[in-house]
Chain A
Amino acid sequence: MTAKKRWDVWTGITIGIFLLYVFFLLYPLLTLLGKSFMDADGKFTLAAFEKFFSKKYYYGTILNSLKITVTVTTFTVLLATPLAYILNTVKIRFAAAIQILILISSVSAPFIGAYSWILLLGRNGVITNFIKTVFGFQIPDIYGFKGIVLVLTLQLSPLVYMYVSGALKSVDSSLIEAAESMGCTGLKKMFKIIGPLILPTILAGGLLVFMRALADFGTPMLIGEGYRTVPVLIFNEFIGEMGQDDSFAAAISVMVVLFATTVFLIQKFISSKKAFTMSSLRPIQAKKEKGVKGLLAHVFVYAYIILAMLPQLYVVYTSFLNTSGKIFVKGFSFNSYQIALSKIGDSIFNTFTLALFSLGIIIIVAILVAYVTIRRPSTLTNMLDMSTMFPYIVPGSILGIALLVTFNKRPFLLSGTAFIMILAFAIRRLPYTIRSSSAILHQISISTEEAAISLGASQLKTFTKVTLPAMLPGVLSGAILSWVSILTELSTSILLYTTATRTMTIAIYSEVLRGNYGTAAALSTILSVITIISLLIFFKITGKKEFSM
Chain B
Amino acid sequence: MSVTINFENIIKKYGEITVIPNLSLEINEGEFFTLLGPSGCGKTTLLRMVAGFNTIEGGSIRFNDQEINNLTPGKRNIGMVFQNYAIFPHMNVKQNVAFGLTNKKIPKDDIEKRVAHMLKTVQIEEYQERMPENLSGGQQQRVALARAIVMEPDVLLMDEPLSNLDAKLRVDMRNAIKEIQNDINITTIYVTHDQEEAMAVSDRIAIMDKGMIQQVGTPQEIYQRPDNLFVATFIGHTNVLAGTLQAKADMVVLQIGGYQLPLHHVAVKTSSESLKKVQVSVRPEEFILCESPDNQGIKGKIASSIFLGMNTHYFIVLETGEKVEIVQQSTIQEIHKPGTTVQLRINAEKINIFREDGKVSLMKGGSEYDS
Looking across the interface, which residue of chain A has its beta carbon closest to that of B57? A3
- Cβ contact within 8 Å between B55 and A2: yes
Contacts of A451 in B (CB 8 A): 80, 82, 86, 88, 144, 147
Asked if B54 lies at the interface with its beta carbon under 8 angstroms from chain A, I say yes
- Cβ contact within 8 Å between B53 and A450: yes
Within 8 A of A (CB), among B39-98: 51-55, 72-76, 78-80, 82-84, 86-90
Q: How far is the CA of A466 from the CA of B96 in the complex (A)?
A: 10
Contacts of B79 in A (CB 8 A): 454
Q: How far is the CB of A11 from chain B (nearest CB, A)?
A: 16
Size category, A interface: 20 to 34
- Cβ contact within 8 Å between A454 and B54: no
Q: Evaluate whether A450 and B82 lie within 8 angstroms (CB atoms) in the complex, with A455-B74, A470-B89 already known.
A: yes
Asked if A469 lies at the interface with its beta carbon under 8 angstroms from chain B, I say yes
Contacts of A453 in B (CB 8 A): 72-74
Q: Which of A4, A447, A456, A470 touches B100 (beta carbons < 8 Å)? A: A456
Q: Which of B13, B74, B88 touches A454 (beta carbons < 8 Å)? A: B74
Contacts of A470 in B (CB 8 A): 88-90
Contacts of A447 in B (CB 8 A): 82-84, 86
Looking across the interface, which residue of chain B has its beta carbon closest to that of A472? B90
Name A's interface SS.
helix
Contacts of B83 in A (CB 8 A): 447
Interface flags for A461-486 (1: CB within 8 Å of B; 0: not) read: 10001100110000000000000000
Number of interface residues, chain B, beta carbon within 8 A: 31
Q: Which of B53, B76, B103 touches A457 (beta carbons < 8 Å)? A: B103
Q: Evaluate whether A455 and B84 lie within 8 angstroms (CB atoms) in the complex, with A450-B51, A450-B73, A470-B89 already known.
A: no
Q: How far is the CB of B212 from chain A (nearest CB, A)?
A: 21
Contacts of B144 in A (CB 8 A): 451
Q: Evaluate whether A469 and B90 lie within 8 angstroms (CB atoms) in the complex, with A450-B82, A455-B74 already known.
A: yes
Q: How far is the CB of A458 from chain B (nearest CB, A)?
A: 8
Name B's interface SS.
loop
Q: How far is the CA of A456 from the CA of B76 in the complex (A)?
A: 9
Contacts of B78 in A (CB 8 A): 454
Contacts of B104 in A (CB 8 A): 456
- Cβ contact within 8 Å between A455 and B147: yes
Within 8 A of A (CB), among B90-121: 90, 99-100, 103-104
- Cβ contact within 8 Å between A452 and B88: yes
Given contacts A450-B86, A451-B80, 20 further A-B contacts (CB under 8 A): A2-B55, A3-B14, A3-B54, A4-B55, A447-B82, A447-B83, A448-B89, A450-B53, A451-B82, A451-B88, A451-B144, A452-B88, A454-B52, A454-B76, A456-B100, A456-B103, A457-B99, A466-B88, A470-B88, A470-B90
Please, could you name 14 A-B residue pairs with CB atoms under 8 Å apart, sorted by A?
A2-B54, A3-B14, A447-B83, A452-B88, A453-B72, A453-B73, A454-B51, A454-B52, A454-B79, A454-B80, A456-B74, A456-B103, A457-B103, A470-B90
Interface residues of B (CB under 8 A from A): 13-15, 51-55, 72-76, 78-80, 82-84, 86-90, 99-100, 103-104, 144, 147, 151
Interface residues of A (CB under 8 A from B): 1-4, 445, 447-448, 450-458, 461, 465-466, 469-470
